[in-house]
Structure 1
Amino acid sequence: MFVPGLSATLGRQEIILGEGFIIGDLNGFVSPAVFGGDLSARLSTDALRFDYKLATVPLTLTGFVAKIIENYATVSPPPPAIGIDTGLDQDLYGINANYQVPTAEAEVEGYFVSLNNAHATKNSANELSVQTFGARVAHEVAATPGFSWKGEFAGQWGKTAGLNNKGYAGYLGAEYAFQDIAWEPKVGLTYYHFSGDNDATDNTDNAWNPLFPDAAGDRIGAIVDASGLGATGWGQQSNMQVIKLSGSIQPTEKISISLDWFNDQLVKPAAGEKKELGNEIDLNLGYAYSEDVEFGLTFGYFVRGSAIKNAVADSADAMQIIGSVAVAF
Structure 2
Amino acid sequence: MKRIFIAICALGLVAALISPALAEVQNIKVGGSIDIRGFSRKNYTTANAGGSRAFTAALFSEQDGRDWYNMITKVGIEADLTDNVIASMILCNEQDINTGASTNNVQIYESALTLKELLYSPLTVKVGKMPIQVADGLVIGNGVLTNTNGVIAGDYQADNSFFTVHGILDYDPLTLLIGTAKLMDQTQAANDDIDVYLIDAIYKMEDRNAVLDAYLTSAHYSTPGGTSTGTGPSNVSTAALDVYVLAATLNFEPLEKLAAKVGVGYQFGDYQKQIAAGGVNRDLKATAFDLALNYAFEKEYSPKVGLKYVYRSGEDVVGTTTGDYKGWLGLYESQKNGLIYDPNTNTNSFALSGSLMPLDRLSVALDIWFYQLAKKQTAVAGSTSDKRDAGSEIDLILKYAYTEDVTMGFSIGWFSPGDYYVGGMDKAASQVMAEVGVKF
Scaled to the shorter chain, the TM-score interval is: 0.7 to 0.9
Residue-by-residue CA offset, 1:233-288 (whole Å, 9 max, x unaligned) = xx3x1111111111000123311100001111111112434111100000001011
Contact 2:245 2:268 in 1 (8 A): yes
**TM-score, normalised relative to structure 2:** 0.64
Equivalent residue number for residue 260 of structure 2: 149
Q: Are 2:183 and 1:68 equivalent residues in the alignment?
A: yes
Output the CA distance in 1 between the equivalents of 2:424 and 2:406: 44
Quick one: percent identity of the two aligned structures?
A: 30
2:325 counterpart (205, 217, 220): 205
Equivalent residue number for residue 247 of structure 1: 354
Which structure 1 segments of 5+ residues have no match? Answer: 74-84, 226-234
Across the two proteins, how many residue pairs are aligned to each other? 297
State which drifts further: 243-252 or 18-27. 18-27
Q: Are 2:364 and 1:257 equivalent residues in the alignment?
A: yes
Q: Are 2:127 and 1:10 equivalent residues in the alignment?
A: yes
1:184 counterpart (302, 309, 318): 302
Displacement after TM superposition at 1:150 (Å): 0.8
Displacement after TM superposition at 1:117 (Å): 1.8
Contact 1:294 1:326 in 2 (8 A): yes
Equivalent residue number for residue 164 of structure 2: 47
Equivalent residue number for residue 420 of structure 2: 307
Output the CA distance in 2 between the equivalents of 1:282 and 1:48: 38
Secondary structure of the structure 2 residue equivalent to 1:204: coil
Output the CA distance in 2 between the equivalents of 1:134 and 1:48: 21
Secondary structure of the structure 1 residue equivalent to 2:340: helix
Secondary structure of the structure 1 residue equivalent to 2:207: coil
1:267 counterpart (370, 374, 381): 374
State the one-letter code of the partner of 1:256: S
State the one-letter code of the partner of 2:195: D
Output the CA distance in 1 between the equivalents of 2:253 and 2:330: 28
Compared CA separation, residues 29 and 213, structure 1 to 2 (3 A): farther
Equivalent residue number for residue 174 of structure 2: 59
Output the CA distance in 1 between the equivalents of 2:439 and 2:198: 28
**TM-score, normalised relative to structure 1:** 0.84
State the one-letter code of the partner of 1:296: G
Contact 1:186 1:249 in 2 (8 A): yes
Which structure 2 segments of 5+ residues have no match? Answer: 1-117, 226-235, 274-281, 379-384
Equivalent residue number for residue 202 of structure 2: 98
Contact 1:127 1:160 in 2 (8 A): no
State the one-letter code of the partner of 1:35: I
State which drifts further: 21-30 or 291-300. 21-30
State the one-letter code of the partner of 1:52: L
Displacement after TM superposition at 1:33 (Å): 5.2
Output the CA distance in 2 between the equivalents of 1:196 and 1:119: 24
Output the CA distance in 1 between the equivalents of 2:434 and 2:154: 15
1:296 counterpart (409, 412, 420): 409
Compared CA separation, residues 120 and 320, structure 1 to 2 (3 A): closer
Output the CA distance in 1 between the equivalents of 2:192 and 2:288: 27
Contact 1:71 1:87 in 2 (8 A): no
Contact 1:29 1:212 in 2 (8 A): no
CA RMSD in angstroms comes to 2.2
